[in-house]
Amino acid sequence: MSQLLYGSICLSDLNEQAKKGHKAFSRGKNGKIYFNVNVWINDEPDQYNNDASVQLNFKDATKDDQVYVGNLRISSGKPIAPDSVDLPNEDDFPI
């Protein structure tokens, strides 16, 4: 049986890392911006009750390159809908 994971990824941290030129970011042939991540499920929930973590990653990344950008939890019901926010313009990304 599959499980639903829900959580958040910090767009502010993503924007900051993109502006710094983090190698996890690339622009596809279609013009869209992509970033590579590692996602793993913890054996036990962490101190904040998160079941999984998300970090930026790319081939041959060092430990310093692997920046945490979010956390996930295993859903026990329906996911929580996020509040609406103003998002940065895609032109703000330097890629």
Q: Which residue did the predictor score with more confidence, 94 or 23?
A: 23
C-alpha dist (Å) from residue 21 to 8, 62, 63? 22, 15, 16
Delimit the domains of the chain by residue range: 5-76
Amino acid at 41: I
For 48-72, the pLDDT digits (tens) are: 999 999 999 988 888 888 899 999 9
**What was the pLDDT predicted at 80?**
59
Cα–Cα distance measured from residue 47 to residue 94, given in angstroms and rounded to the nearest whole number: 35
Q: So what's the pLDDT on residue 9? A: 94
Instruction: Give 21-40 pLDDT, tens digit per residue.
Output: 999 999 999 999 999 999 98
Write down the pTM of the prediction: 0.72
For residue 47, pLDDT beyond 90 = yes
